Structure 1
């Protein structure tokens, strides 16, 4: 069997045979050669709307369009796009050194997906966006101003902030931190009523008899390694943890999602109980400080590593206050 390629018959191009991977043998039949597949992958449903538009500017079906044709596409259909998304597309066209845009990068942008190669292309074109800061936007609603504030609090690059501003939809909302906080408040109120102690619950003899606090002597009860975060010694302890948890955790979850922030929080809580079980074999543990420390530490590390790019106000003062609050909480423990 000989290798074959699509041929032109009667002016009509034959459809390529979908074989992946392609395998062919030479005339003698003693060698088998694996060919690279050039088939176009099946188009996901959300990509169908962009396929016909891209094909108009790619009549050769090469999978690429030149930056000139890409600009023509934007000039024709730019009014259908969000202004910030149009700016990022223009930056991509201007910053692309190859002179062409591949189909997958085009779909990634339209579908709010970001591959590594696409992100590099965006960063190459980010110089085109420096003159139009997201801070200059006017006429924004309350929810849009909140998203913009979160973008400047957590993201170091202007192109990332614009991308986040365009893409964030509050669906899903930052439910994890809010749910954990409400659960902690509910448990505190419940035990406050049960123990008749709403201010300083730890003063009650029955406080540590609850199944929630972590006891090093009760390590076999595995749920206590995490359940201790729902108990607090008093209203001051709860208030400080709640404030830091909401002020830091909610913006981080809005940017990075509940799964990542939840993983950081849970790992911090587990690390806290494990550390106490090693360093002090007699002290019980309550409070969500372990999870809060993990969130604050992750945020401070991001600020320090991207110091010049972070545009949040009073960076040094806020870092100092966070460290003071963590030190006070650690000292109280």
Structure 2
């Protein structure tokens, strides 16, 4: 009776005809010179193709070649390559990498069809923790650190002038001023201006603690896109909801980072360890902040100079852009539909906000 595989399991039969189809594709991918053999250099390229494998000892290639190269020719023939992939001694190096690559080149089928009855087969199972394996210190996660340093330097410059309440020369040039919306840079540069030391430190701590881990998995440019999208969405949303409000601070970008974590948890649910716990932590963090803001404003009637609309706009942008640009380790059909929905909704909201700021002049009088 045919067995039923879970979605996260791919069975690869090893009969001569079927195994040739799967393993030949992998073999050809790394046979760069198409000579039908994998050389020492090509083998090294396979090992170093994942960032965390740069930390392998220098002699790892020699050891692997000595085990896999049965005829001591200095090259891996196709049969030796297949044996290498199934060698228990080398599974720690190649097992997970090959499983993911095979999963990407084999057409997806319903779970019932993924099992082929053969006397000999290899089963690669994807378990929680794949996402955590993607953390890497190379390239260094420095974009949030650089942005934070720029914010510190600019704040210190104004403080040296005796102006720490967003009234210094830098603040006047960079903060979002609804009367100067034609100076378009202000929709972004207000993130570099802070009204006091506490305001600066809170934003720095949150964006570093949340931004650096994201960079280690998704790389700096994706995280910067999410961050800037949150900043821009925060100012655009504020300009429409509170057209007389000035903005200073990186809270729009910070909230984008919070919901970007929620986005990557959603898109990499099956690949994460304790995904439900991580999701609950970030949802609880956002809920407590929003709940406190609503309580202070509508029940205690506390007057605070906090741009809650910017927070909300940044959070929405972080979720949508996070789904759109952050890495999705294993793509599924519903995730592709969610990706399109997020991208379309984000651009629709942003275009609407930009057009409203340009043409709805009566709203800002």
| TM-score category of the 2 structures, normalised to the smaller one | 0.5 to 0.7
- 1:57 aligns to what? 77
1:117 aligns to 2:109 (yes or no): no
Q: Given that residues 178 and 243 in structure 2 are in contact (C-alpha distance below 8 angstroms), is that contact kept between their aligned partners in structure 1?
A: yes
In our comparison, the structure showing a higher alpha carbon Rg is 1
- Following superposition, the deviation at residue 173 of structure 1 comes to 0.7
Name the one with the larger helix percent: 2
- 2:350 aligns to what? none
Match of 2:161 among 191, 194, 198: 194
User: How many angstroms apart in 1 are the aligned matches of 2:144 and 2:293?
Assistant: 19
- Look up the SS of the partner of 1:283 in the other structure: coil
- Following superposition, the deviation at residue 267 of structure 1 comes to 1.1
Q: 1:189 to 1:312 in 2, by over 3 A?
A: farther
- Following superposition, the deviation at residue 171 of structure 1 comes to 2.4
- 2:349 aligns to what? none
- Look up the SS of the partner of 1:238 in the other structure: helix
- 1:223 aligns to what? 185
User: How many angstroms apart in 1 are the aligned matches of 2:141 and 2:107?
Assistant: 25
- 1:159 aligns to what? 130
- 2:49 aligns to what? none
Q: Given that residues 303 and 310 in structure 1 are in contact (C-alpha distance below 8 angstroms), is that contact kept between their aligned partners in structure 2?
A: no
TM-score, normalised to structure 2's length? Answer: 0.50
- Following superposition, the deviation at residue 302 of structure 1 comes to 3.2
Taking CA–CA contacts closer than 8 Å with sequence separation of 6 or more, which of the two structures ends up with the larger relative contact order?
2
Q: How does 1:1-333 map to 2 (within 5 A)?
A: 43=32, 49-50=41-42, 56-58=76-78, 70-74=81-85, 84-88=92-96, 91=99, 116-117=104-105, 128=125, 157-162=128-133, 164=134, 168=136, 170-197=137-164, 201-202=165-166, 210-304=172-266, 309-311=272-274, 315=278, 316-325=280-289, 332-333=306-307
TM-score, normalised to structure 1's length? Answer: 0.54
Q: Given that residues 57 and 73 in structure 1 are in contact (C-alpha distance below 8 angstroms), is that contact kept between their aligned partners in structure 2?
A: no
- Look up the SS of the partner of 1:211 in the other structure: helix
Could you list the runs of 5+ residues in structure 1 that have no partner in the other structure?
1-38, 59-64, 93-104, 107-114, 131-156
Stretch deviating more after TM superposition (309-318 or 216-225): 309-318
Q: 1:75 to 1:329 in 2, by over 3 A?
A: same
- Following superposition, the deviation at residue 75 of structure 1 comes to 6.5
Q: 1:118 to 1:280 in 2, by over 3 A?
A: same
- Look up the SS of the partner of 2:174 in the other structure: coil
Structure 1, residues 165-212: CA drift from partner, whole Å, max 9, x if none? 5xx3x2221111111111111111221221254xxx24x5x5796201
Q: Given that residues 71 and 90 in structure 1 are in contact (C-alpha distance below 8 angstroms), is that contact kept between their aligned partners in structure 2?
A: no
User: How many angstroms apart in 1 are the aligned matches of 2:138 and 2:185?
Assistant: 31
Pairs aligned (count): 226
- 2:317 aligns to what? none
- Look up the SS of the partner of 1:158 in the other structure: coil
- Following superposition, the deviation at residue 223 of structure 1 comes to 1.5
Instruction: Give the CA RMSD over aligned residues.
Output: 4.2
- Following superposition, the deviation at residue 310 of structure 1 comes to 4.0
- Look up the SS of the partner of 2:173 in the other structure: coil
- Look up the SS of the partner of 2:195 in the other structure: coil
User: How many angstroms apart in 2 are the aligned matches of 1:181 and 1:267?
Assistant: 17
Q: Given that residues 195 and 207 in structure 1 are in contact (C-alpha distance below 8 angstroms), is that contact kept between their aligned partners in structure 2?
A: no
